[in-house]
Amino acid sequence: MVKAVLTNRPNAAGPVLLYFHDPMCSWCWAFRPVWQRVKSGLPAGVEIEQFLGGLAPDSTVPMPAEMREKIQGTWRTIERSVPGTRFNFDFWEKCVPRRSTYPACRAVIAARRQGADFEEAMIFAIQRAYYLQARNPSNDSTLIELAEEAGLDKDLFEANLRHPDTQVELLEEIRCTREFGVRGFPTLLLSHGREYSEIPVNYRDPEPILAAIAAHL
C-alpha cells in the first residue's frame, strides 16, 4: 500500500476521510444509510473525498448463470445481515445483466461535473434503479434517464458520459484505489498528510466509525 495520500486536494493540511466505492456494489448499497450518518456526524475539519473503484470493466457479454446466482446469493446474505436493506429480485428476470459497472462509474463523474450535489444524487439514483426498480445501470440509456430524473442537464450529461476525458478520469480514480491497496468496497481510510489509517466499516451503526475517526485525530 502506498504511503502518500493521492487525493484531489494534495495540499490539504487537515484530515481527509477517503471513501472507496462503486455505485453498483451491493455492499455499498447496504452501507448507504450508515454512510449518510457518518458524513453528517464527522468532526469539524475532516474533509471527504470519494473514489470510484470500478468494480467491473465495460462488457457487452450477458452475465453467466453462475455469476447471476452468486450475486443473488450476496443480495440474500445482505438482506439477512444488514437490517432494512432490500433488493428487488425482479431485476434478474426483467433485465439482461452484464458484469459491467464502468458505465455507472462514468455516470457519477459526468454528474459531478454539474455540481457536487448532483454526484450524490446520481449515486443514489443508480443504486435505487438497480436494487429497487429493476432497471439496468450498465446501460447508457438507463443512466441518461436517471440523470434527467435527477434534474441534471440531460444533453450535457450525455456528452460528458461519453467524453473520452470521463474515462480517463475514471481510470485515474481506479489507479489511485489500487495504489492504496483497496481490494473491496466500501473501504474507508483516514489520512493525515502522508499517513493514513483504515477505518473499519460497520453496516449497522455509524458510532463505531465516528469513534475510530475521532481516535485518530
* CB 21, CB 55: distance < 8 Å: no
Beta bridge partners of 49: 18
Q: 74: helix, coil or strand?
A: helix
Q: Region 45-62: what's the mean pLDDT?
A: 96
Q: No. of H helices and E strands in the chain?
A: 9, 4
Q: Region 181-203: what's the mean pLDDT?
A: 93
Element (H, E) at 2: none
Q: What is the pLDDT of residue 2?
A: 35
Task: Tell me the pLDDT band of 13, cut-offs 50, 70 and 90.
Answer: low
pTM for the predicted model, two decimal places: 0.93
Q: Which fold has domain 16-215?
A: Glutaredoxin (3.40.30)
Place of cell 469513534: 211
Task: Tell me the pLDDT band of 12, cut-offs 50, 70 and 90.
Answer: low
Residues in the chain: 217
Buried b / exposed e over 95-115, threshold 16 CB at 10 Å, is: bebbbbbbbbbbbbbbbbbbe
Q: Is 187 exposed, middle or buried (0-12, 13-18, 19+ CB in 10 A)?
A: buried
Element (H, E) at 195: strand 195-199
Rounded-to-integer distance, Cα 50 and Cα 75, Å = 24
Q: Which of 129, 124, 126, 134 is nearest to 89 (CA)?
A: 134
- Is residue 186 reached through a cis peptide bond, with omega within 30 degrees of 0 on the bond before it? yes
